[in-house]
Structure 1
Amino acid sequence: PSGSVYNVGGGEEASILEAIAALERISGRRLDVRHVDRARGDVARTKADVSRIAAELGWRPATRLEEGLTAMWSWASATVARA
């Protein structure tokens, strides 16, 4: 319907540390992760609830988190190499 708002995301839950671990695997690098106290409003885990867009529009995520991070790493690496 006109004016509807939808969450669009991968639909899978991941913690920040899980995303960092995936980036380390993808990049082959160890990241310098520094743990600090969580700020008000910070989230420990994230997951887009895509149930509404799936029900109303039949939309489903096409890219899993690690696939998306891999594609982003490849793009960023190529972009930096050209700079």
Structure 2
Amino acid sequence: MPVDADDYGVALEGNVNAWSGHLLPPELPPFDSFNSRRSYVEVFAEGTRPIDFTIEADRPWIKVTEDARSDSTTRVLLATTRA
């Protein structure tokens, strides 16, 4: 049964592990400004309370877009754009 909390976890495309709870830090495949690449991140509630979060790119050629949302999970698409 979910706990009355606003805790959350993160899952990365292609990775069977999820965070929080996994020992190693999450790591996306490398992105660069010369090759087109898409990947997604899913952020999900681990408790019963809603969660609020922000995902930002640290490079101007990475576009961050909310792709899908349910009551407890949000999928965020990360894609490179040509610089």
- Indicate the TM-score class for this superposition, using the shorter chain for normalisation: under 0.3
Give the structure with higher Rg (CA): 1
Higher normalized helix content (fraction of residues)? 1
Structure 2 length-normalised TM? 0.23
Q: TM-score, normalised by structure 1?
A: 0.23
